């Protein structure tokens, strides 16, 4: 007990705090020299266990978790991360006790107010806040605060903070599919066509009749066939249509209409054109960089219905044993260093593969 108090006293002394701050800045500056993930996601797990192990209220554990988030965000944005996505509240969390759910909602309201009043971190790094999830599940007073926070930071364009609240990945995917179906159920806008199918058929038929009439006139020049050709010429001339005149059966009140049997009043997008990119454009994270790094604390090794669609083949998923309130630069730094090492190794392998292909091509050419 005495040793822990002495350690805390030493760490909180001004000279030590200044030295630690300078060391943090030095390490972050070193990180910026290498590749940095542009999109990082966090599953902030372990607040309740931290509160239980430290014999404090559960809501206080979540409060300490918010302070840890503020520290991590500063590290991310200083390092050059453009998008941070955090799992703040799952739709499944509504199954918890009413006391805890109400406490989380009240704490979210308080923390949003603090961000609005003391938004130095957001303004310093140009961070805009986005809340992803089912808005209809949020209390009206909290929803008003959320809208105010997003509006106040909407002009910040350097970085993004996605707060998933309340959210599950299954709900996001379901919503994206539903919106895609709605879009593909709307008829395409009618476009004015220079040539309709009926007009093209009419023009070809007119040209064919004109050629036939010309052949008949050439035959009529011979005396022996003049009488018969006169009849044929008059008949063909009456049947010849001017190429530019519209067919009578395609004109209604002076407007050209398509009366073909296959004509359809509305055209719809082809369902075969639905691709993964189309669904991706309907996700909450549409237009953002791909997820490159996902971190979960507390030692639990599962995603818990978070960012399932965004976790692709190049997403690195890291599970840490520390609880979220304990998460800081000293736990985050090894993860970033390892991520940079992997990326540099992959780039070297890609360069080696391209140089080998170039050598093979040059050898075949020679």
**Per-residue pLDDT tens over the stretch 317-363:** 999 999 999 999 999 999 999 999 999 998 888 887 777 676 677 77
Tell me the backbone φ, ψ of residue 86, rounded to 5 degrees: -120, 145
DSSP H or E segment with residue 32: none
Between CA 54 and CA 40 the distance in angstroms is: 29
Pick the more confident residue, 109 or 72. 72
Q: Which residue has the tokens 């066939």?
A: 225
pLDDT band at 288 (very low <50, low <70, confident <90, very high): very high
Round to whole Å and give the CA distance between 13 and 111. Answer: 28
Q: Is the pLDDT of residue 52 over 90?
A: yes
Q: Can you tell me the distance from the alpha carbon of 314 to that of 206, in angstroms, rounded to the nearest whole number?
A: 62
At 241 the pLDDT is: 46
pLDDT band at residue 169 under the 50/70/90 scheme: very high
Of 11-15, 89-93, 190-194, give the lowest mean pLDDT range: 190-194
The strand ranges marked E within 65-176 are 83-87, 127-132, 159-164
Record the pTM.
0.74
pLDDT at 224: 52
Q: CB pairs under 8 A, 24+ apart, for 338-343?
A: 339/37, 339/292, 339/293, 340/31, 340/34, 340/35, 340/36, 342/316, 343/34, 343/35
Residue 129's φ and ψ, nearest 5 degrees, are -95, 135
234-245 confidence digits (pLDDT tens): 444 444 444 445
User: Per-residue pLDDT for 256 more than 50?
Assistant: no
Tell whether the model's pLDDT for residue 134 goes beyond 70.
yes
**CA–CA dist 99, 122 (Å, integer):** 31
**How many CA atoms are closer than 13 Å to the CA of 25, on its beta-carbon side?**
6
Per the CB < 8 A criterion, the answer to whether 163 and 130 are in contact is yes
Point out the least confidently predicted range of 16-20, 61-65, 166-170.
16-20
What is the band of 181 on the pLDDT scale with cuts at 50, 70, 90? very high
Say which range, 6-20, 81-95, 105-119, 169-183, has the weakest mean pLDDT.
6-20
How far is the CA of 225 from the CAs of 180, 190, 212, 214, in angstroms?
70, 53, 16, 15
- Please report which confidence band the pLDDT of residue 251 belongs to, taking 50, 70 and 90 as the band edges: very low
Q: Which band of pLDDT confidence, cut at 50, 70 and 90, is reported for residue 222?
A: low
């Amino acid at each position: 007990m005495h040793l822990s108090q002495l350690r805390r006293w030493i760490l909180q002394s001004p000279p030590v705090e200044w030295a630690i701050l300078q060391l943090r800045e030095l390490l972050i500056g070193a990180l910026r020299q290498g590749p940095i993930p542009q999109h990082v996601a966090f599953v902030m797990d372990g607040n309740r266990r931290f509160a239980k192990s430290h014999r404090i209220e559960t809501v206080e554990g979540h409060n300490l978790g918010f302070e840890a988030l503020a520290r991590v965000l500063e590290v991310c944005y200083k390092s050059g991360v453009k998008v941070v996505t955090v799992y703040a509240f799952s739709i499944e969390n509504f199954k918890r006790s009413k006391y805890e759910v109400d406490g989380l909602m009240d704490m979210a309201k308080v923390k949003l107010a603090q961000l609005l009043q003391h938004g130095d971190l957001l303004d310093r790094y140009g961070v805009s806040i986005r809340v992803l999830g089912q808005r209809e599940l949020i209390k009206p007073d909290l929803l008003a605060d959320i809208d105010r926070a997003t509006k106040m930071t909407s002009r910040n364009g350097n970085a993004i903070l996605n707060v998933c609240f309340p959210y599950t990945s299954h709900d996001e995917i379901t919503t994206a599919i539903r919106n895609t179906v709605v879009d593909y159920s709307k008829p395409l806008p009618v476009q004015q066509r220079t040539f309709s199918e009926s007009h093209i058929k009419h023009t070809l038929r007119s040209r064919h009749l004109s050629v036939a009439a010309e052949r008949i006139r050439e035959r009529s020049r011979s005396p022996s066939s003049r009488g018969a050709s006169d009849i044929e010429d008059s008949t063909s001339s009456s049947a010849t249509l001017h190429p530019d005149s519209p067919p009578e059966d395609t004109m209604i009140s002076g407007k050209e209409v398509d009366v073909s049997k296959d004509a359809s009043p509305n055209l719809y997008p082809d369902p075969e054109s639905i691709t993964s990119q189309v669904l991706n454009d309907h996700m909450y994270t549409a237009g953002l960089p791909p997820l490159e790094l996902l971190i979960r604390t507390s030692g639990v090794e599962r995603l818990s219905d978070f960012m399932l669609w965004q976790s692709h083949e190049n997403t690195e998923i890291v599970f840490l044993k520390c609880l979220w309130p304990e998460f800081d630069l000293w736990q985050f730094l090894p993860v970033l260093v390892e991520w940079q090492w992997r990326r540099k190794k992959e780039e070297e392998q890609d360069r080696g593969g391209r140089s080998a292909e170039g050598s093979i091509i040059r050898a075949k050419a020679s």
